[in-house]
Amino acid sequence: MSAEPAPPPLGGTIEEKLYSVQYRHDKQSHISITHGDTCLERCGEEWGRPCTTFCPAKVYEWDGEKIAISYENCVECTSCLLGCPYRVIDWRLPRGGYGVHYRFG
């Protein structure tokens, strides 16, 4: 074994990681926010909008006014069903056959 290991593979960005995931994209989103005013008025102050950090596929981003949803990134881990402190994320199962499509899993 060499003394100095080479840098580990893909310490890279989440964008690079998501590039390795296969999807079949639906035209319609399976995710919406039911009460956007909660994200604006309460969550920023009380919780720091955790969906923007715990989501492993960076689906949720704060654009200054609202949570922008990149539903096509979603890997259907279902964490946001519990991780939204106010449970205002309306996440549904993608329509049959759509969404993430793991080759290894």
Partner 1 sequence: MDTERFDAIVVGAGPAGSAAALTMARAGLSVVLFERGEYPGAKNVMGGVMYGRMLGDVVGEAAAQAPMERRIVEERLWMATPSSAVSVGYRSAAHGAHTPDGAAGSAAPNAFTVLRAQFDRWFAARAEAAGALLITGTTVEDVIRRDGRVVGVRAGREGGDVYGDVVVICDGVNSFLAQKAGLQRRPVEPSEMALAVKEIIGLPREVINERFAVSDEEGVTIEVYGSVTQGMAGYGFIYTNRESLSVGIGALISHLMRTKITPYALLDGFKQHPLVARLITGGQPQEYSAHAIPEGGYEAMPNLFGDGVLIAGDAAMMVNGLHREGSNLAMTAGRLAGETVIEAKRRGDLSAAALAGYRDRLEQSFVLADLRKYRALPALADRRPELMAIYPQLVNEAVEEMLTVDGLSKRAKQKKIWRRLRAQRSLWQIMKDGYAGWKAIR
Chain residues in the site for partner 1 (CB under 8 A): 1, 5-11, 14, 17-18, 20-21, 24, 47-48, 50, 53-54, 56-58, 75-79, 81-83, 85, 93-97, 99-105
Which of residues 11 and 64 has its CB atom nearest to partner 1 in the complex? 11
Q: How far is the CB of 80 from partner 1 (least distance, A)?
A: 9
Nearest distance, CB of residue 23 and partner 1, angstroms? 10
Grouping H, G, I as helix, E, B as strand and the rest as coil, residue 87 is coil
> Which H or E element spans position 83?
helix 80-83
User: Smallest distance from the beta carbon of 66 to partner 1, in angstroms?
Assistant: 19
Q: Which is nearer to partner 1, 64 or 105 (by Cβ)?
A: 105
- What is d(CA 51, CA 54) in angstroms, rounded to the nearest whole number? 5
Instruction: Please name the amino acid found at residue 101.
Output: H
Contacting residues for 50 by C-beta, under 8 A, at least 6 apart: 83, 84, 85
In the numeric block, the tokens 């549904």 are attached to: 92
